[in-house]
Amino acid sequence: MTDDLHYQTILGLSSQIKSGDLSPVTLTETLLARIEALDGKLKSYATVTAESALAEARTAEAEIAAGRHRGPLHGIPIAVKDLCYTKGVRTMGGCAVLADHVPDFDATVVRRFREAGAVLLGKLNLTEGAMAGYNPAFDVPENPWKESHWSGASSSGSGAATAAGLAFATLGSDTGGSIRHPAAACGTVGLKPTWGRVSRHGVLDLAQSLDHVGPLTRSSADAGIVMQAISGLDPDDPTTLVAPVPDMLVGLEVGAKGLRIGWDERYASKDIAPDFAAAIAASVEVMAKLGAEIIEVTMPEKLREFLAGWPVICTAEAADAHRATYPDRAAEYGPWFREWLARGNSFSAADYAHANNLRAACEGAMRRTMQDIDLLACPSTAQEAFPVTPEISYGPIPERDPWQTRFTVPMDYAGLPTISLPCGLSELGLPLSLQFVGHPLAEPMLVQAGAAFESATDWHRMHPPGW
């Protein structure tokens, strides 16, 4: 635990900035110096925009001094996954084939950050195309908790930068778990929105029908602050929801009393390490002691069968997203993602239809599981961070057991919002993570539950040693 400036929360910093006690320029200089000193080892950033960040910080400081404070993100240094278009700044998506891609407009989420007065420090490294393997031309972000360990795949740079205090908030994307995976592996909070709550305009696609964009932060309140800023109907993205954006912090002081939390002990403990299972069970007990009602539920009986549809949907939609450059420029892709795209092109329309039928059945089964509860509690991932090698990171694709995705894919299938929370350390000293799953548009309740859990625990205040 530490009170260092780079580990403070957005909620705490924003009041200091508004009052004039803390300069956005000083804050930005502090983070840029930290990136300069540490990111050569951490490898979380693909591009650092130091000059423009300082200019944005000076503008924010002048506006605030003139009484034009825009809100809690004004003057706060943040960073975004390098899937998000940034005008005049390269957006590569982890793909060598896009190394020279410089957009002429901002993604909606980036524009909304700018409108909120946030300071953009730069763009964060990720796997190629936001899948699971890296292109050999790009760095693999380190897990700040343990060198040469998994940092959460797709949004790995986002998780690493947030955990190590190189940004106060970052954006990730989640198609099969890549807000939750880096949050869990790196020990941060991750808030995956309802599908359509956050615009995907100007965000490179992996699989359009499954992609979600959301924040990684170091507290639930901070996740709510970011979600507030980036959410809402976007005429440039016809899949965004028309529902108005509520106050994401409305339940911040409400606590857990009266929340109905579903708990399938078998689902939450089968085939995971005993220390991880014990941490999740203890976390549910914390919520019970805070006044939540724990209700036994049963996850879908055919869950393993349903999960088999995800790779078909994801590979096929990825092949569609990359049709401008694959297969014509296949040699520029790394072995991992090149094979992923080849698989997508190999499936028939009937294969894709069958996979979507499995998805629809899973969605219906999830609705039945959650019909009498407010939230479902379970792990965020199937395992703690594990050792990785360049061969694993760069490919080709290893054998993948769909069962490993049981805590993430059902929620992406159904577009359900989730929050991941640090809930312990393993026997090896690596972060463990609790997940709450909500009904559509339940992001404020997830922030409420996360804040309640944090009020009774200190796991979110733990930081990786040595940074």
Confirm whether 178 is a catalytic residue: yes
DSSP H stretches of helix in 238-309: 265-269, 274-289, 303-307
Which among 14, 151, 158, 178 is annotated as catalytic? 178
Q: Identify the DSSP state of 5.
A: G
Which among 151, 154, 155, 420 is annotated as catalytic? 154
Helix, strand, coil distribution of the chain in percent, nearest 5: 40, 15, 45
What is the C-alpha separation between 232 and 245, in angstroms, rounded?
Answer: 6
- Residue type for 398, please? P
**Is there a contact between 447 and 419 (Cβ–Cβ < 8 Å)?**
yes
* Other Cβ atoms closer than 10 A to 291: 12
According to DSSP, the β-strands at 77-81 and 119-124 are parallel
What is the C-alpha separation between 258 and 264, in angstroms, rounded?
Answer: 19
- Residue type for 434, please? L
Confirm whether 257 is a catalytic residue: no
Strand partners, 170: 79, 216
CA distances from residue 93 to 97, 135, 337 in whole angstroms, order as listed:
9, 10, 12
Q: Which two tokens stand for residue 119?
A: 């300071």
DSSP H stretches of helix in 79-219: 108-115, 156-163, 180-186
Confirm whether 81 is a catalytic residue: yes
Which among 43, 44, 81, 151 is annotated as catalytic? 81
Would you say the C-alpha torsion 202, 204, 205, 210 has a positive or negative sign? negative
What is the C-alpha separation between 195 and 443, in angstroms, rounded?
Answer: 11
Give the active site residues: 81, 154, 178
